Structures are given as C-alpha cells and as structure tokens.
C-alpha cells in the first residue's frame, strides 16, 4: 500500500471525514478559546484588529502543528501499522483526558499577568495552546489521512473560535471557560473511541 501525499484523497475505509475533522478542530480549539477569553479580559479598548491578531496566531499555529506531527509520524509508520488505530485512540484519549482534568481543576491559564497583544507573548501562547495538535497530526498520519485538509479546517475553526473568544472575554469574562475545556476534552476522547470501534 502506498503512502498518501499531503493532498491525496483519503482511502474509502478511512473514518476521518470532514465532520469528524470539524469535531476534532473544535476539541483542539478550546485551549485557544480559553486563552482568548482571558486575553479579552485584559485588553483595554478592544478593537477588531486586536481580536484578529490573536485569532491569526492561534489559528495559524493550530494549523501548522498537525502538519509537523504528521510529518514526524511518517518515519515510523511502517513499524506500527498493525496497531495504528490503538495508537490514534491512545493519543486522542490522553489529550482529551488531560484537558478534562485541567478543566475540572480550573485550568492553568493566567488571568492578567501578560499583554496578549505583544508578539512575543502571542508566540508563546500560540505554541502552548497548539501542542496537543501535534499528537492529532501523528494520529492522522497513522491512519493514512492526508494532512492539508484537516490542518486547514483546524486552523480556520480555531481562528473563528479565538476571534469570538476575545469578544466573549471582553463582555462576560471567563464564566464558561472551565465547562468548555471539559467539553473539548470529552469530544477528543469520543473521537478516539469512534476511530477504535470502526477499526475493530
């Protein structure tokens, strides 16, 4: 079986369709949403360009990280192809469980100790909120899913969610932050279970 390229059509047996990718994208975007809400709390005189800048960083890194994870996964795919669905499930379950745990205990994102409009701060926050997407990229690599389409969807969803999150933070604060992070973790776990069941 040949390895699909970045843009190759998915195999017919592949369980990761557009709807599944959208759910994964929303699950991954909750960290960026939580930080965006927190950022909206501390920005004085919020403008649309402020929200767009934050969303661009978060969405851009969220799109880039799965590609990096996918590329890293291709090197050892042939050694674990018999267990790829278990690996994909494990990665998504671990990421989801971590998010549920952190959401249940209140998260770890700072409230007002940084200026979210500084490029250096934005870079750090964007990397921190997109690390989990590396694991998703690796999982998609193991399932022979071409990565550019999922990466684009993940980036666009994160952009929209982050843009909205900044304004929510400006208006109502972080009232829903914990619940949304727990929900995002449960979504990732659910997607992992779906992949596992469809392969078994």
**pLDDT tens digits for 105-122?**
765 554 444 577 888 888
More confident of the two residues 6 and 37: 37
> Is residue 99 scored above 80 in pLDDT?
no
pLDDT of residue 110: 47
pLDDT of residue 112: 41
> Is residue 1 scored above 50 in pLDDT?
no
pLDDT of residue 197: 83
pLDDT of residue 50: 93
Of the candidates 7, 34, 68, 44, which has an alpha carbon nearest to the alpha carbon of residue 176?
34
Chain centroid to CA 167: how far?
A: 20
* CA atoms 13, 14, 15, 18: torsion sign: negative
C-beta separation of 151 from 63 below 8 A: yes
> Is residue 75 scored above 70 in pLDDT?
no
**Alpha-carbon dihedral angle through residues 183, 189, 195, 198, given to the nearest 10 degrees:** -90
Q: Full-prediction pTM beyond 0.75?
A: no
* CA–CA dist 21, 191 (Å, integer): 9
More confident of the two residues 147 and 43: 147
pLDDT of residue 9: 47
> Is residue 72 scored above 70 in pLDDT?
yes
Provide, rounded to the nearest whole percent, the portion of the chain with pLDDT above 90: 22
């Amino acid at each position: 079986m040949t390895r699909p390229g970045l843009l190759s059509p998915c195999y017919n047996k592949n369980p990761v369709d557009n709807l599944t990718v959208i759910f994964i994208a929303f699950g991954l975007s909750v960290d960026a949403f939580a930080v965006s809400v927190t950022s909206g709390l501390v920005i004085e005189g919020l403008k649309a360009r402020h929200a767009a800048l934050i969303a661009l960083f978060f969405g851009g890194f969220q799109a880039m990280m799965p590609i990096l994870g996918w590329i890293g996964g291709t090197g050892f795919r042939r050694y674990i192809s018999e267990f790829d669905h278990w690996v994909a499930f494990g990665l998504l379950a671990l990421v989801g469980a971590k998010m549920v745990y952190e959401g249940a205990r209140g998260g770890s994102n700072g409230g007002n100790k940084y200026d979210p409009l500084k490029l250096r701060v934005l870079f750090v926050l964007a990397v921190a909120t997109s690390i989990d997407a590396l694991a998703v990229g690796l999982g998609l690599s193991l399932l022979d899913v071409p990565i550019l389409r999922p990466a684009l969807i993940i980036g666009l969803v994160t952009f929209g969610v982050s843009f909205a999150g900044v304004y929510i933070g400006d208006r109502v604060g972080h009232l829903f932050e914990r619940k949304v992070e727990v929900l995002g973790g449960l979504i990732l776990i659910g997607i992992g279970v779906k992949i596992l069941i469809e392969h078994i």
